[in-house]
Structure 1
Amino acid sequence: MGQTPLALAACTNQPDIVTLLMDNSKTNIKIQDSYGNTVLHALVTVTMDQEPHNAFIIQMYDKIIRSCKDKALESKKNKKGLTSMQLAVTEGKLEILKYILNREIKDDENRMWSWKITDWSYGPVSSIFYDLEGVDTSSKKSILEMLVYNTDIKDRHEMLNLEPLHSLLQMKWDKFARHMFLLSFLFFFIFDIIFTCLFYLQRKDDKALKLSQQNRSAFKPSGTKSWLQVLGHVYVLTCSICIIIEESFLINRLTFSDLQSVVSDAWFNIIFITQAVLVILSSITYMCGIEESLIFMVIAITLGWTNMLYYTRGFQSLGIYSVMVQKVILNDVSKFLLVYLLFLLGFGVALASLIEHCAEGEDCSSYGSFRTAIVELFKLTLGLGDLEMQKDAKYPTLFLILLIIYVISTFVLLLNMLIALMSETVDNISKESENIWRLQRASTILKFEKTIKFLFGDKFRLGVMHNFSDNDKRLCLRISKVKWSEWHRAVTCVQEEGVTQSKVKEADGFSSITAVDVSDRGRHPIIVQENEEDSDMEIFSSSEIQNY
């Protein structure tokens, strides 16, 4: 089947056979199967959602890399051009990716395999280096870009919460993305204001900026007002072209799995492009004297101010609320409208057919035509109509029965089902809304990062080059962490009177310590640290603490 003995033994949990093969000098550990997968790729492929199964996979993965002396094993690519870490991302293997990104090997011999290296720690505070090779956008085909742009990846929201991805995105947001986000907001806000002002100027002076019907080849605006309108139209046209180019580029970078992913992940991109196209059409048709320009302009203004919801992703609470609104519209409201449209068309045609045609000059029923029947039925759905039997219906009893059935089916049944489904949807996605918001913000950060790289190069790149050994130099991200819940240490609190506080009872993982006389503190230790692994006591004197 094109597999290798080492990969087969590792994936079927046979550690003795793995050891036997790896101890054999003739075994090529980096050998690839018919798909170009190494033994590490194979382990990633067979990872499942079951925790006991993943435990032996991770143990086997760790055993193999510790036994292998060549670090190139983990960076070796298969026929799809993916390393084992990239394969874990594309396959949605959350647990194995979490192990790889947080793997820390402290012995010097195997330290080169570490993606996480603790620089120093004191109490609950620790400073950690994370290797950014293949993680950040500075590397080609980085896992950060794969998670943001590939909509087919399972659990990609949870993967973005893993370290160092979570901290990396937050640092990028704080360093440059939030400032560019504010500038983008101001740019789009001014764009909407100018376009709205042009709309009202057009309504006040319907003849302004229109080409002469007799001479369409020359456009000669007169007066300051007309020149301001010309400049306004030039500005909105230029901005619209830039928006189309930018959003098309972003959509092109996305990898879609199905139509639903297109709509959900490219929701605002599609609306921005639609708005920009309508703005261009409205400006061109308006200056050419075409009356239908008002149609394009009205729809463009509506979309323009609706698109301001895009900038709610800069704030967590508003961003999560916007995600809920988006999900409700895509999931519940769209399904409701599809079913409701079928009812509306069916009953509209039936009721319009039951109305006898009126003679010219007579007062006809509101159901006399299909269009008016649709409007009246829609008013009934909202509770604004009435059930009065139409006098000129051919079969009044049948007409009334159809009206009653329609009201029960739409106003009573469909609307209440919509409310129930919307409530259920909000409850279901309330937990994942924050993750979706983080993904949307990550997409915005990477968009701004592309722009800032084009303008300033690597000036705003995160990470520093750090030498861990003579042959181990890496681009790393330093992250400081404070974990009180994992800190099993007890520290005496020294009072000004000269005596520490009374005994601290042994509870919640803290060791009990007795009071210490500060006047004799030179002979007494003031910090007692218990190592969880071997229960040895590490003692620091007051003079050592002062030196620290």
Structure 2
Amino acid sequence: MSKNEGVPLLAKDRIPPGTPPRTHKPLDNGMKKSDTTDFPVVSSKISFPVFSRPMDSNIKPCPDSLNPKKTARRPPKNLLFKAVSEGDVDSLKRLLQEAEDSSSSFTEKASQDFFMYKLTSKDTGKTCLMKALLNINDYTPEIVCLLLSFAEENGFLDRFINAEYTEENYKGQTALNIAIERRQSDLVKCLIKKGANINVRAQGRFFNPKRKHEGFYFGETPLALAACTNQPEVVQLLMENSQTDVTIQDSLGNTVLHALVTVAENSEAQNAFIIRMYDTILRNCKNKSLESIENNEGLTPMQLAAKTGKTEILHYILSREIKEKENRVLSRKFTDWAYGPVSSSLYDLKDVDTSSRNSILEIVVYNTSIDNRHELLALEPLHTLLQMKWKKFARYMFFLSFLLSFTYNVVLTLVSYYRPRGEQALYPLSLTYDRGWLQLVGQMFIIVCATYLMIKEGVVIFLVRPSDLRSVLSDAWFHVLFFIQAILVIASVFCYLFGVKEYLAFLVLAMALGWANMLYYTRGFQSLGIYSVMIQKVILNDVLKFLFVYILFLFGFGVALASLIESCADGDECSAYKSFSTAIVELFKLTIGLGDLEMQHDSKYPVLFLLLLIAYVILTFVLLLNMLIALMGETVEKISKESEHIWRIQRARTILEFEKSLPLWLKSKFQLGESCTVSKNDNRACLRINEVKWTEWHNHVTCINEEPGFEMHPGTSYANLNIEDEADNYERDRHVTIDVIDSTDQTYETTV
């Protein structure tokens, strides 16, 4: 693997499309620009930054003859900038000597200001030192040393070496940032030794873009830039420096760990170095709470990894196990015992279970923008945690909910079928007719159930977890249907109680929708749940699109054909198809093969009328319906491969919704995990998972405990995580124990 393999593209490699690649040739090949800036003139009408020339480039502007409006000549180029960019050491020495001679009559402060003026671009804040680092060549180290020595001799080294870009797009960038970006570790050491500010933040829009393709985010600090561009030597150099503030946060509130999570992609090579950098910084940081720092969105690096769907990074964090005593507090997994291929591990549930704010479980289940949610839910301890919640309380609540919904629909059906008829329908509160009291009791029962459903589903949709349209269509559409059904039932009951005859329409719609909603309970069974997912996807992906196109054809041809039907005179026998509504109905019958062509007899132009009918039949019955069948078959074949993943996500959401509906005293009773004392003042809730690893166990044969497992005594049982035989030369850690609070309710899961 080469030095730069697996390294993300840097700013210099990500020039927007259409821009020629930058080389290390001299910058000033006849370019016509100001002597104090290297940036092209940008129109003030542009509302967003255009990075056509990131910081420095060799692109020549178009000749003035092509743009007659720009005829004024620019001032000559700055000779100092030309010398450092071309690596002309002799010219640079001569120019610096001339500048020093020119400042002989100035005071010390005035001479320093004069030197900074001569060595700095007034428009962008770019110094000759930055210019040299932007144009790396064989003479760059000598040029840098010469500039630093000149600044040190004349007493303005600190101002010169820590000068920042003032241009809006690259504001805050210093020579140290550029040296790191150009992977010049020797020059980085030189700059730090000379007093470069290690904690500087580059806050320009190029380094923190608000829109895609406007720039690149690698964090704003030198440490974050070095870590995100895979420069372990520079990272180690910065971490060993006592002045480095590893916990510094950028304008987004991100630390260096957040930045590493952000730049991670679905690339094995890149994720390998990201994880390595993450682990190195975390272990070497003196502040052991670095990983618990939240950004402006209230997310830790682990929560950010879950929200952005970074599977490998999240897996590393959740299963990180550190054996060293000084860093054991950073572990999120503890191996209690191992016997052959079987190992019993304890996973830290902090920020994972729903008892924590912004828990990983809720982020993954409710965030529909994560395309690989099923992969994240397959990670431990998320997978086992959901299984245990389902077995412990969710399946019983699911069954009770099914019974209540089934009973509710049965009563609704009976009330609808055995409703008062004829004259009795006008007196709904009268008990004189047969089964009147049963009707009244049924009405009261369904209105109570409907009110409960309306409140419950409304809270789920709008309050508990505000859902966007995508979330509703993918996970929560049954909640919307339950909510609509409850509204219809309440409307029908009130209409019935006030004697409004139209109550029956609301009641019938609610009854049909109620039985269709019973598909929600197929989530409890994998085979039926997958079938329900297929129906959902076919309706949302194919049927709705078909209906949209079909309604356009139906309305267009319906209007045309209804306009051709002659209106009858007084006393004549009128055609049954004279109205627009009847024409629409007949056209719909033709679509499904139940109509006839009798409606053409009373048309004004029978031939034209017939041609329109034939065109309509071909477009709808022949083309659209067959296309719908083909698309549905393709959707079923495609969804069948991922329907199991969708079903698992939907069931996970159901589990969390049931858990949220529990009262506080039941939540505490159903809380999973064991109380673990990792160190003297470090108590955690951990989930025990027994794992079988046939391919790995022969590589880890060290005895973790002499006798696996431990005797279970509620409230008093202890087990050491790392106690070895005294005859073995292994370090004893007396401070790491597991205190089981409620061992009578333990559930053990085996993952193969």
Selected match of 2:254 from 37, 43, 46: 37
Which residue number corresponds to residue 506 of structure 2? Answer: 296
The answer to whether structure 1 residue 283 and structure 2 residue 500 are counterparts is no
Partner of 2:319: 102
Q: Is structure 2 residue 642 aligned with structure 1 residue 432? A: yes
User: 8 Å contact 1:48–1:93 — kept in the other structure?
Assistant: yes
Does the alignment pair 1:72 with 2:304?
no
1:131 has 2:342 as partner: no
Question: Is it true that 1:343 corresponds to 2:343 in the alignment?
Answer: no
Deviations 1:385-437 (A, max 9, x none): 24568332221111111111111111111111111111121222222211111
2:367, 2:471 within 8 Å by CA — same for their partners in 1? no
Contact 2:329 2:679 in 1 (8 A): no
Distance 1:480 1:136 in 2: 19
Equivalent of 1:28, from 233, 245, 248?
Answer: 245
2:615 equivalent among 395, 405, 416: 405
CA shift in 2, pair 1:51/1:364, >3 Å: farther
Q: Is 1:422 matched with 2:632? A: yes
Q: Which moved more, 1:472-481 or 1:310-319?
A: 472-481
What are the within-5 Å matches in structure 2 for residues 148-547 of structure 1? 148-204=365-421, 207=424, 210=427, 221-222=431-432, 225-252=435-462, 253-257=464-468, 259-359=469-569, 362=572, 364-387=574-597, 390-486=600-696
Specify which of 57, 62, 75 is matched with residue 274 of structure 2: 57
State the TM-score, normalizing by the size of structure 1. Answer: 0.83
1:193 alignment partner, SS class: helix
Question: 1:12 & 1:60 partners in 2: Cα distance?
Answer: 10
Kept in 1: contact 2:368–2:470 (CA 8 A): no
2:123 aligned residue: none
* Structure 2 gap segments, 5+ residues each: 1-201, 204-219, 700-752
C-alpha offsets along residues 157-179 of structure 1, whole Å, 9 cap, x if unaligned? 32122111111001100011001
CA RMSD of aligned residues (A): 2.1
CA contact (8 A) 2:430 2:436 kept: no
Letter of the 1:46 counterpart: V
**2-structure distance, mates of 1:109, 1:461:** 31
What is the deviation of 1:52? 1.8
Q: Is residue 325 of structure 2 the alignment partner of residue 114 of structure 1?
A: no
Residue 109 of structure 1 aligns to a residue whose secondary structure is helix
Query: Partner of 2:305 in structure 1?
Result: 88
Question: Post-superposition shift, 1:360?
Answer: 5.1
TM-score when scaled to structure 2?
Answer: 0.61
AA at the equivalent of 2:357: K
Structure with the largest fraction of helix: 1
Instruction: Give the superposition deviation at 1:88.
Output: 1.2
> Is the counterpart of residue 14 in structure 1 residue 231 in structure 2?
yes
Corresponding residue SS for 1:372: helix
* Aligned with residue 143 of structure 1, among 360, 369, 380: 360
Q: CA deviation at 1:187?
A: 0.6
Whole-angstrom distance in 1 between the partners of 2:633 and 2:664: 45
CA distance in 2, matches of 1:360, 1:433: 62
Range with bigger deviation, 102-111 or 220-229: 220-229
Specify the structure having the higher radius of gyration (Cα).
2
CA contact (8 A) 1:11 1:46 kept: yes
What is the CA–CA distance in structure 2 between the aligned matches of 1:361 and 1:301, rounded to whole Å?
Answer: 45
| Partners of 1:117 and 1:383 in 2: CA distance | 68
Residue 77 (structure 1) shift: 0.7
Judged with a 3 Å threshold, the aligned counterparts in structure 2 of structure 1 residues 487 and 50 are, in CA distance, closer, same or farther, namely same
State the distance in 1 between where 2:393 and 2:686 align. Answer: 19
Cα separation, 1, equivalents of 2:382 and 2:422:
55
C-alpha deviation, 1:255, in angstroms: 4.1
**AA aligned opposite 1:254:** R
Larger relative contact order, structure 1 or 2 (CA cutoff 8 Å, min sep 6): 1
Query: How many residue pairs get matched?
Result: 481
State the alpha-carbon separation in 2 of the partners of residues 391 and 225 from structure 1.
52
Letter in 2 for 1:145: E
3-state SS in 2 of match to 1:202: coil
1:23-73 superposed Cα distances (whole Å, 9 cap, x missing partner): 112222111122211110111111122222222111111111121243210
Q: Is the 8 A contact 1:150 1:255 kept in 2?
A: no
Whole-angstrom CA distance in 2 between matches of 1:71 and 1:246: 43
Give a deviation string over 1:461-492, Cα, whole Å, max 9, x none. 11011223334431100011223455559xxx
AA aligned to 2:275 is: I
- Among the aligned pairs, what percent are the same residue? 63
**Is contact 2:454-2:483 (8 Å) kept?**
yes
The offset of 1:264, in angstroms, is 2.6
Report the AA paired with residue 33 of structure 1. Answer: D
List per-residue Cα deviations over 1:130-160 (Å, max 9, x = no partner): 1100000111221111222233334223212
Question: Contact 1:192–1:305 at 8 Å: present in 2 too?
Answer: yes
CA distance in structure 2 between the aligned counterparts of 1:408 and 1:266, rounded to whole angstroms: 38
